[in-house]
Chains A and B, each alone.
Chain A
Amino acid sequence: MKKEWPLWEVFIRGQHGLNHRHVGSLHAPDAEMAIKNARDVYTRRKEGVSIWVVPSAQISASDPGAKDSLFEPSMDKIYRHPSFYDIPEDVGKM
């Protein structure tokens, strides 16, 4: 019998309340082992307080070829940024 352990994507949340962040991947037979392995491989130096693992095969990704149509539209909407608006200094901090 020969079957390679499936690949898992590992997400770690650090101590300071930030989101879980993708840190890499690893092989494991199941989710439980994936979490145990993730602890050894990705948190040897207090990198996190919470681990998520997701089978890599379950990740759906955007098409790299569609980069322009997906992300270009946000480029010309500078009014979405606070710096677009001139608020007179008299108004104070806003």
Chain B
Amino acid sequence: MYAQMVKTDADKVRDISEMSPEERAFQERIDRGEKIEPTDWMPDGYRKTLIRQIGQHAHSEIVGQLPEGNWITRAPTLERKAILLAKVQDEAGHGLYLYCAAETLGVSRDELIELLHAGKMKYSSIFNYPTLNWADIGAVGWLVDGAAIMNQVPLQRTSFGPYSRAMIRICKEESFHQRQGFDIMMKMAKGTEAQRRMAQDALNRFWYPSLMMFGPSDKDSVHSAQSMAWKIKINTNDELRQKFVDQTVPQAEYLGLSIPDEHLTWNEDKGGFDFSEPDWSEFFEVLKGNGPCNRERMDARVKAWEDGAWVRDGLMAHADKRAAARQAAE
């Protein structure tokens, strides 16, 4: 997902009887559906895992602006350009809401950004794939934002108050993202033969990377079980992936496009589709930094951060100087 394979430091999920009184009270609050707020007592692992997860989520929103930003100046019409600009601006906002949520846990935004740039934090694997043509912008909105929504909607109920509130804000804005993507796909799929081929090609390239967004199966993962006990993860990766496939297949049918999976079949018994797994070795390569655009994405982020340093420092120095002058005048 936007946060993939987040580790918890847990080697097993402990039973309530093995917990310290503080921890037990904490777990009981979560079980009752209470929100945990930043100043409340929380186990160290909960805090650390959340910093990793929210930080990774924030980084994904920010890095995720790059593949789409690539097409702002090349959008086919002024209207599409305005829409894409608004969409990418929303993603910047999402990154900021999430950094703020992470900061309530005692880490600073600059620290998180520096950890990302040092390769010590991750962002979603999906943003390491290139956007080669305009149809890709349609596919990204439809599939990538679609997959993100699948994960973010349940996270509105997460146990950590600031994270939950950020998710509620984000979810309100996401639906526009997916719809504008589908709208592009509709135009292209019902356009000229060349446009239809571009739409099919975009779907072919983004299908499996979108399925990878949910991460490998975690039904036996301790980290996943711990995160679910803490309600910072609500569904397993497989559950969300299944939901995404079941939702997306009829939409592709509507577009007259075919999902690039010859094993895709409706399974009456489970009431969902059977489908092929993505190539997980490719996923792990991308995570290691060897995807098609990893280097380009990180270079762009680091360059923006370094080139902006004099502006950040200058504005801070100016603010400090004015504050000092105001104080002297008092």
Q: Is B89 an interface residue (CB 8 A)?
A: yes
A30 and B39 within 8 A (CB): no
B96 and A26 within 8 A (CB): yes
B108 and A44 within 8 A (CB): no
B312 and A26 within 8 A (CB): no
Q: Is A70 an interface residue (CB 8 A)?
A: no
Q: How far is the CB of B153 from chain A (nearest CB, A)?
A: 19
Given contacts A4-B110, A25-B100, A26-B96, whether A64 and B39 have CB atoms under 8 Å apart is yes
B100 and A64 within 8 A (CB): no
Q: Which of B101-130 contact A (CB under 8 A)?
A: 103, 108-110
B312 and A5 within 8 A (CB): yes
Which residue in chain B gives the minimum CB-CB distance to A56? B103
Q: Which of A46-70 contact B (CB under 8 A)?
A: 61, 64
Tell me, in angstroms, the Cα distance from A7 to B103 when the chains sit together. 10
B-chain residues with CB within 8 Å of residue A7 when the two chains form the complex: 100, 103
Q: Is A27 an interface residue (CB 8 A)?
A: yes
B96 and A41 within 8 A (CB): yes
Given contacts A4-B108, A4-B110, A25-B100, whether A41 and B40 have CB atoms under 8 Å apart is no
B39 and A61 within 8 A (CB): yes
Q: Is A33 an interface residue (CB 8 A)?
A: yes
Q: Which 8 interchain pairs have the tightest Cβ spacing?
A: A30-B319, A29-B319, A29-B315, A25-B100, A64-B39, A29-B316, A4-B110, A1-B313
B residues engaging A (CB < 8 A)?
37, 39-40, 86, 89-90, 93, 96-97, 100, 103, 108-110, 165-166, 169, 173, 312-313, 315-319, 322-323
A residues engaging B (CB < 8 A)?
1-5, 7, 24-27, 29-30, 33, 40-41, 44-45, 61, 64
